[in-house]
Amino acid sequence: MVAKTRFGLKGRARDTYLELVKAFPLASIRSDAHLEEAQRVMDHLLAQGPLDEGTEIYLDALSDLVASYEDAHHPITPASAAAMLRHLMEAKAITQAQLSRATAIPKSSISSVLSGKKTLSRKMVHKLADYFQVDVSILAASV
């Protein structure tokens, strides 16, 4: 029995979508080999340039399946406060002393965070987020 829905593809978009499903069915990814094949399919589709509606819908669904598998089997741990601060400093090409002067955070505190001896306080997170013009959530993972 087929359920009727309001969602549906018509014309060329439907044809493209169905051809893609036939070539690489949309199903839960169960292994790293399946993941690699899904990534190859996505890379191939993205390399084609502008996508039609059917391809976009297929690609969205396939990327959701890939993300679900990766979240379950290959999670990415958040960067430490020290790693994130180091990255922001390198991107802006500033030293600890320059950061200290600009934020009024003692250089010793910055040094302690970078060496992993100290975590960022809420006050430091806000000062650093303002200085680097990033959302506080970028630095607040450890707070």
Q: How many CB atoms lie within 10 A of CB 87?
A: 13
pTM for the whole structure: 0.60
- Chain segment 30-54, per-residue pLDDT in tens: 999 999 999 999 999 999 989 999 9
Domain count, the chain: 2
Yes or no: say if 143 and 125 are a contact pair by the CB < 8 Å rule.
Answer: yes
C-alpha to C-alpha distance for 42 and 37, rounded to whole angstroms = 9
Task: Give Cα separations from 139 to 27, 89, 109, 135 (angstroms).
Answer: 36, 13, 15, 8
Task: Kindly state whether residues 111 and 129 are assigned to the same domain.
Answer: yes
C-alpha to C-alpha distance for 46 and 50, rounded to whole angstroms = 8
- Chain segment 50-102, per-residue pLDDT in tens: 999 999 999 999 999 999 999 999 988 877 888 999 999 999 999 999 999 99
Q: Does residue 93 lie in a domain region?
A: yes
Give me the domain span that covers residue 129: 81-142
